[in-house]
């Protein structure tokens, strides 16, 4: 199958403008005739749902939490990028575009990234008008900071809670539409399958998580804003409920999954403390602006950090990358931390961390300024570890955090399944092989506020005077029966192990073989271990209780089943991509200094995988990537 990215012709700076003009419009009076299903209420989902409802469409929103305000976008701390150039330091749309393409290690679609940079400025306007309490200068103007290795200050932030505030802004806009009756909100409702008829997405099948009711919902278009798949690793910074069911079910029904091996391991998380650990906590990357990262020069150094003299400390990032120092991009920082721990220089009880030291910053700026900037983060660290970061250096270690891969979408954010759109982290398009800091919030809101509301009209305008497929249609009945069968399967398995146990085992396999560094033999090992785990899961899963109640083990079982399948695809993709790029580091492909080495000749494409059904390896489709505006170079942060 030929993948058509639908990127409009013309110079890159004009593509979006021209495309907006050429997209067919839906007359305001006709908008109310269209029904839209939105799965997920995070930054992308809530902003899109609110905007579409404002335009006049009828929107049904689904989320698994008890309120749309709790989507995991809320945990984003650092900030949101925008090419406002308020700081007069040489930022521009083109520079943001350039940085994002380069930061993504030349594996993203140029046109999408340029559009992202263009609309970034509108996002800030919109959010400020909603009352998002962005940080301000004394004059009342917006404050910015430099973030995640950017050479300009283009990051807007609201203390350490930017994600929370942006999500609440979108949530409040959504609430306004719920009150107006334009949005029908379904909380504690999980999408369990996508319904396709004639090759077109027609609706979804959901389970009411309180009553177990399986129900079909039909619409003119289905939009997935279901987030990323970091939780496949079990220990990640994602919320406990984050899951892959939405995207994976869509994939099973025909949507291509693009670049699943592109996962981002965030460098500054709190190392796990014991076997019971259920998730990892991220500390904002902004800490690297003032904190210095080091390990003892001597392996297995038993001394406490304050007893290690300056000369015996290795500030390895500053040593290896004098220009960027502690601010190198996330993938580089993470890999370097791993390399230190691999040679037994890890610190802490479990030797699983590196130091992030604020003592120099405190000596330079004083406790008060540091508290003002990072107080809430340092407090959080103390709560979790019981150590005072003002006195003892913090211990940090990388953790799975964000996934750049996702369902394949074209320039209009529509997947290869007509009528199925995918927005936010759930799609693949904008970050290439590595995401820059403060760009996730930007992309989620760009898709939701300013891209989807335009492009969805292009699809809907062709459906005028058509009704959605009725929910008693054969296609819905069949899918409902399949969903019920799956649930019955979990309940009737009656094995001896919890879904969590399988998830933990899966996480170990993925982290060891498809984590920060990957090898051919490791991935092959993973690809033999995952099917074994799956057959154990099918034989030995234990779920108690019934479907007709709030049953958290049952929910988990379905999610873990989908994660096992996705993990296999991640490894398959990682195995096939015999190059290192961004978050995907193949040990076979590195420079003499141990840096990631791309293979542009053979791998400058998007790997989009088509499901061949359970038990069959997915088929690969390639979307070649053309770089007309940014020259491909090896990234260097020396």
Partner 1 sequence: MRITLRVWRQPGPEAQGEFRTYEAPEVSEDMSFLELIDAVNEDLLEKGEEPIACDSDCREGICGMCGVMINGLPHGPSEGTATCQLHMRKFQDGDLIEVEPWRAAAFPVIRDLVVDRSAFDTIIESGGYVSVSTGSAPDANEILVPKSASDAAMDAAACIGCGACVAACPNSAAQLFTSAKLAHLNLLPQGQPERWDRVEIMVDTMEEFFGSCTNHGECEKACPKEITIDFIAMMNADYVKSKFKNRRRLGQKKAG
Partner 2 sequence: MLTETRPSGDTSQKPVPPRRQREKSGIWLVDFYTSAVGKKWVMAITGIGLIGFVLSHMVGNLKVYAGAEDFDHYAEFLREMLVPIFPRTVFLWLVRGGLVMMFVFHIHSAISLARLNLQANASYATKRDYVAANFASRTMRWTGPIILLYLIFHLADLTWGVEPAATAVFERGEAYANLVASFERPVVAGIYIVANLALGFHLYHGTWSLFQSLGVNNPAYNTARRYLAGGVAAAIVIGNCSFPIAVLAGVVD
Please give the residues from 84 up to 103 whose contact with partner 1 meets the rule CB under 8 A: 84, 86
Query: Does residue 150 belong to the site contacting partner 2 (CB under 8 A)?
Result: no
Burial class (CB in 10 A: 0-12, 13-18, 19+), 328: buried
Q: Which of residues 292-351 bind partner 1 (CB under 8 A)?
A: none
273 binds partner 1 (CB under 8 A): yes
Question: Would you give the binding string for partner 2 spanning residues 486-525, x where CB under 8 A is met?
Answer: -xx--xx---------------------------------
Cβ 170 vs Cβ 43: under 8 Å: yes
Indicate whether 495 belongs to the interface with partner 1 (CB under 8 A): no
234 binds, among partner 2, partner 1, none (CB under 5 to 8 A by kind): none
* Stretch 188-227 residues interacting with partner 2 (CB under 8 A): 188-189, 208, 210-215
How many other CB atoms are found less than 10 A from the CB of residue 466?
11
Which H or E run contains 304? Answer: none
**Binder of partner 1 out of 14, 18, 199, 240 (CB under 8 A):** 240
User: Which does residue 47 bind out of partner 1, partner 2, none, counting CB within 5 to 8 angstroms by kind?
Assistant: partner 1
Q: Where are the alpha helices (DSSP H) in 181-323?
A: 245-252, 287-290, 316-320
**Axis crossing angle, helix 93-103 with helix 110-130, rounded to the nearest 10:** 120
Residue 383 near which of partner 2, partner 1, none (CB within 5-8 Å, type-dependent): partner 1
86 makes contact, choosing from partner 2, partner 1, none, with CB < 5 to 8 Å by partner type, with: partner 1
For residue 440, the partner it binds in partner 2, partner 1, none, with Cβ less than 5 to 8 A by kind, is none
Q: How far apart are the first and last CA of the chain?
A: 42
The one of partner 2, partner 1, none whose footprint includes residue 186, by CB under 5 to 8 A per kind, is: partner 2
- What does 230 interact with, of partner 1, partner 2, none (CB < 5 to 8 A by kind)? none
Per CB under 8 A, contacts with partner 2 among 414-473 are 472
276 binds, among partner 2, partner 1, none (CB under 5 to 8 A by kind): partner 1
3-state helix, strand, coil in the chain (%, to 5): 40, 15, 40
Which neighbouring-strand residues pair with 293? Answer: 356
Binding mask 414-453 for partner 1 (x = CB under 8 A): -----------------------------------xx--x
- What tokens does 213 get? 């009711």
Contacting residue, 36, 124, 224, 514, with partner 1 by CB under 8 A = 124
| Footprint on residues 155-194 left by partner 2 (CB under 8 A) | 186-189
Strands (E), 414-497: 420-422
Torsions phi, psi of 553, nearest 5?
-70, -35
C-alpha 387/C-alpha 365 separation (Å) is 22
Q: Is 184 helix (H, G, I), strand (E, B) or coil?
A: strand
Least Cβ distance, residue 213 to partner 2 (angstroms): 6
Q: Give the pairing type, strands 257-258 and 605-610.
A: antiparallel
**Could you give the CA distance from residue 523 to residue 544 in angstroms, rounded to a whole number?**
34
3-class state of residue 189 by DSSP: strand
Tell whether residue 549 is a contact of partner 2 (CB under 8 A).
no
Sign of the dihedral defined by the CA atoms of residues 625, 628, 630, 632, in that order: positive
Decide whether 141 or 631 has the Cβ nearer to partner 1. Answer: 141
How far is residue 266's CA from residue 398's CA, in Å, rounded to a whole number?
5
Tell me how many residues contact partner 1 (CB under 8 A): 83
Does residue 281 bind partner 1 (CB under 8 A)? yes
Q: Which residues of the chain form contacts with partner 2 (CB under 8 A)?
A: 186-189, 208, 210-215, 472, 477, 480-481, 484, 487-488, 491-492, 546-548
């Amino acid at each position: 199958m030929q993948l058509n990215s639908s990127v409009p012709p013309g110079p890159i700076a004009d593509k979006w403008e021209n495309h907006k003009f050429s997209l067919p419009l839906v007359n305001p009076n006709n908008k109310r005739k269209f029904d839209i299903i939105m799965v997920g209420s995070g930054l992308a989902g809530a902003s899109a749902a609110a905007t579409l409802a404002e335009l006049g469409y009828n929107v049904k929103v689904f989320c698994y939490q008890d309120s749309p305000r709790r989507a995991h976008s809320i945990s984003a701390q650092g900030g949101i990028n925008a090419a406002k150039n308020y700081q007069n330091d040489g930022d521009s749309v083109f520079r943001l575009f350039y940085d994002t393409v380069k930061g993504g290690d030349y594996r993203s679609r140029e046109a999408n990234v340029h559009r992202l940079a263009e609309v970034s400025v509108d996002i800030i306007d919109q959010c400020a008008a909603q009352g998002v309490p962005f940080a301000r200068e004394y004059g009342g103007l917006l404050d910015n900071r430099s973030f995640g290795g950017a050479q300009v200050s283009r990051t807007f932030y609201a203390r350490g809670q930017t994600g929370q505030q942006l999500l609440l802004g979108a949530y409040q806009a959504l609430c306004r539409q719920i009150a107006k009756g334009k949005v029908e909100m379904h909380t504690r409702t999980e999408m369990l399958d996508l319904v396709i008829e004639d090759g077109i997405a027609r609706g979804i099948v959901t389970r009411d998580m309180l009553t177990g009711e399986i129900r079909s919902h039909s619409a003119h278009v289905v939009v997935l804003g279901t987030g990323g798949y970091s939780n496949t690793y079990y220990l990640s910074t994602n919320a406990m409920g984050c899951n892959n069911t939405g995207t994976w079910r869509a994939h099973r029904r025909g949507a291509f999954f693009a670049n699943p091996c592109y996962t981002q391991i965030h460098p500054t998380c709190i190392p796990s403390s014991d076997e019971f650990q259920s998730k990892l906590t991220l500390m904002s990357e902004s800490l690297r602006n003032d904190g210095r990262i080091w390990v003892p020069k001597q392996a297995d150094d038993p001394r406490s950090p304050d007893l290690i003299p300056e000369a015996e400390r290795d500030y390895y990032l500053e040593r290896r990358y004098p220009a960027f120092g502690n601010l190198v991009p996330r993938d580089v920082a993470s890999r370097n931390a791993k390399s230190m721990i691999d040679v037994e220089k890890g610190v802490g009880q479990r030797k699983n961390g590196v130091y992030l030291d604020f003592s120099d910053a405190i000596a330079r700026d004083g406790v008060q300024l540091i508290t003002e900037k990072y107080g809430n983060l340092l407090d959080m660290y103390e709560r979790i570890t019981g150590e005072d970061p003002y006195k003892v250096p913090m211990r940090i270690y990388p953790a799975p955090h964000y996934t750049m891969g996702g369902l394949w979408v074209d320039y209009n954010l529509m997947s290869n399944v007509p009528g199925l759109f995918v927005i936010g982290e759930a799609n693949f398009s904008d970050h290439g092989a590595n995401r820059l800091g403060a760009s996730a919030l930007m992309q989620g809101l760009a898709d939701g506020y300013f891209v989807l509301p335009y492009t969805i009209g292009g699809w809907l305008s062709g459906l005028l005077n058509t009704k959605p497929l009725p929910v008693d249609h054969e296609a819905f009945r069949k899918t409902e029966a399949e969903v019920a069968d799956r649930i019955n399967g979990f309940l009737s398995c009656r094995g001896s192990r919890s879904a969590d146990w399988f998830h933990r085992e899966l996480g170990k396999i993925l982290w060891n073989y498809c984590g920060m560094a990957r090898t051919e033999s490791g991935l092959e090992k993973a690809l033999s271990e995952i099917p074994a785990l799956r057959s154990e899961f099918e034989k030995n899963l234990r779920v108690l209780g019934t479907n007709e109640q709030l049953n958290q083990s049952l929910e988990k079982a379905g999610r873990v089943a989908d994660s096992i399948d996705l993990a296999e695809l991640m490894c398959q993709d990682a195995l096939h991509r015999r190059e290192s790029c961004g978050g995907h580091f193949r040990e076979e492909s590195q420079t003499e200094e141990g840096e990631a080495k791309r293979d542009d000749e053979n791998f400058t494409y998007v790997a989009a995988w088509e499901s061949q059904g359970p038990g069959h390896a997915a088929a690969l489709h390639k979307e070649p990537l053309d770089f007309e505006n940014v020259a491909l170079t090896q990234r260097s942060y020396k």
